[in-house]
Amino acid sequence: MQAFIMALRSIGANKMRSALTMLGIIIGVMALVVLVSLVNGATDSVTNAVSDLGSSMVTVNIMDNKGKPVTLEDLSLWKKENPSLGKIAAYASDQQVARLDENYGSATVYGTTPDFDEVQGLKIARGRFISVPDVQNHSFVCVINEAMAKDLIGYTDCIGHEVLIGGSYYTVIGVLEAEEDSLTALFTAGQMVCYIPYTSLIRLSGVISSEITTFYVGETEGFTLEMSENTISDILLSRFQEDEDAFRTSSQNILEEAMGQITSVLSVLLGGIAAISLIVGGIGIMNIMMVTVTERTREIGIRKAIGASRGTILFQFLMEAVVLCMLGCALGIFFSWGILRLATSIVSSTGLVFKMNPGVVVTSVIFCFLIGVIFGLSPANKAAKMKPIDALHYGG
């Protein structure tokens, strides 16, 4: 306690120098806390976007159908027989020219079945999504996104309008809500997208056949996604002679896990860079402590003459270095808090919130303490090693 007060006093005696020395630690701590917190904030937002990308779902890809192709009839049969496969939708896509009078452009055409909107979390602004009869009758109906409505027709209130897709007229039965804040919207901004019955796409496109290669299983109430995934895996395994390589299932959660991995690597990377600046700050502390020890040689001599042992002197200077580091650390955390508040208020429109990560605060406190000890040890030892007579006679 006595040593702590002494350390505070000697830091206070040289305010300017102490402040400049601490600056290194302050900046290091700020870099560490702010960078890691920013990455975490961004991660949360990206993870949310990934979840929005489709509510939880399993994507099934069939690579080798072994002469037993999966058809729309199979899908509806499975749905009927398995309560855990309450939402199941076939999926195929093609690129087609969409045209209305003088307006035309390339549109991504998805061929699918009724459950698709729920599986993917599509929001219908007007009209309805594709229905079972649409699929059965190979109807020429389409659900278009906002971009397509605006580009082709000129307005979004266009239910019943007809558009030309790949040479046939399709009646618009639904318009999707404009998505602004999801990851999907980010990738598909301004692109024309339309959804037509799977059966209609088979007719429209030369490359799509009735053999389904991709379909989605959505989360059904009362079942976990994992249960649904297991059910479909079992069905497909028995269909494809227990060949695990014939198909592949991947759930949205895996994507989220991958995102998590990427961001944790990112925060370790940025944290590492920040840690380097902290170490540089520590070297600054060591430098100043060396100067301090030389400057106070006489004081050390006096203290030793009146009975301070090596350990006492060592502890005194070590304490000074550690207190300096911890003060810098506290200030750095305080400033980081301010910066994060500021950053949050700047980007408040996007709904991003940057919170101080408690883990990184604890890490930086421990790290600063260690830096104080490690970089304070050598100057403190230099002080402790001084012989009392040499130190007393230093500089007269």
Partner 1 sequence: MIELRDVCKYYQVGDDRVRALDHANLHIYPHEFVSIIGPSGSGKSTLMNIIGCLDTADAGIYLLDKTPIDAYSERELAKVRNRKIGFVFQNFNLIQKLSAEENVELPLIYQHVRRSERQRRVKEALMQVGLEKRAKHLPTELSGGQQQRVAIARALVTRPSLILADEPTGNLDSKTSREIMNMLHELHEQGNTIVLITHDDGIAHEAPRRIHILDGKVTEE
Question: Closest CB to partner 1 among 86 and 388?
Answer: 388
N- to C-terminal Cα distance for the chain? Answer: 32
The owner of tokens 């729920």 is 118
395 part of the interface to partner 1, by CB under 8 A: no
Question: Closest CB to partner 1 among 181 and 295?
Answer: 295
Beta strands at 214-218 and 57-62: parallel, antiparallel or unpaired? antiparallel
**Cα separation of 82 and 220, whole Å?**
11
Nearest approach, Cβ of 328 to partner 1 (angstroms)?
A: 22
Burial class (CB in 10 A: 0-12, 13-18, 19+), 314: buried
Question: Closest CB to partner 1 among 14 and 48?
Answer: 14
207 part of the interface to partner 1, by CB under 8 A: no
Interface of this chain with partner 1, residues 287 to 306, rule: CB under 8 A = 298-299, 301-306
Are the C-beta atoms of 228 and 219 separated by less than 8 Å? yes
386 part of the interface to partner 1, by CB under 8 A: no
Which region holds residue 138: left if phi is over 0, alpha if psi is between -120 and 50, else beta?
left
215 φ, ψ (degrees, to nearest 5): -150, 160
Nearest approach, Cβ of 387 to partner 1 (angstroms)?
A: 8
Question: Closest CB to partner 1 among 237 and 302?
Answer: 302
8 part of the interface to partner 1, by CB under 8 A: no
Are the C-beta atoms of 145 and 193 separated by less than 8 Å? yes
Closest CA to 98 of 195, 166, 158, 197: 166
Are the C-beta atoms of 350 and 44 separated by less than 8 Å? no
**Cα separation of 263 and 85, whole Å?**
33
Which one of the spans 7-15, 34-42, 120-128, 165-173 is the region binding partner 1 (CB under 8 A)? 7-15
Contact with partner 1 (CB under 8 A) among 10, 37, 56, 220: 10
Question: Closest CB to partner 1 among 64 and 390?
Answer: 390
Contact with partner 1 (CB under 8 A) among 9, 17, 66, 355: 9
Which region holds residue 13: left if phi is over 0, alpha if psi is between -120 and 50, else beta?
alpha
**Cα separation of 237 and 235, whole Å?**
6
206 part of the interface to partner 1, by CB under 8 A: no
Which one of the spans 2-10, 139-147, 217-225, 261-269 is the region binding partner 1 (CB under 8 A)? 2-10
Question: Closest CB to partner 1 among 10 and 37?
Answer: 10
Question: Closest CB to partner 1 among 12 and 358?
Answer: 12
Closest CA to 194 of 210, 211, 171, 217: 171
256 part of the interface to partner 1, by CB under 8 A: no
Question: Closest CB to partner 1 among 140 and 394?
Answer: 394
| Count of positions on this chain that bind partner 1 (CB under 8 A) | 23
382 part of the interface to partner 1, by CB under 8 A: no
Q: Which helix (H) or strand (E) holds 84?
A: none
Contact with partner 1 (CB under 8 A) among 67, 160, 351, 396: 396
CA distances from 376 to 282, 290, 328 (A): 9, 9, 14
- Using the Cα atoms of residue 269, residue 267, residue 371 and residue 292 in order, give the sign of their dihedral: positive
Interface of this chain with partner 1, residues 304 to 323, rule: CB under 8 A = 304-312
Nearest approach, Cβ of 256 to partner 1 (angstroms)?
A: 59
Interface of this chain with partner 1, residues 106 to 165, rule: CB under 8 A = none
Interface of this chain with partner 1, residues 11 to 30, rule: CB under 8 A = 13
Are the C-beta atoms of 256 and 50 separated by less than 8 Å? yes
List residues near partner 1 by CB under 8 A.
Answer: 2, 9-10, 13, 298-299, 301-312, 387-389, 392, 396
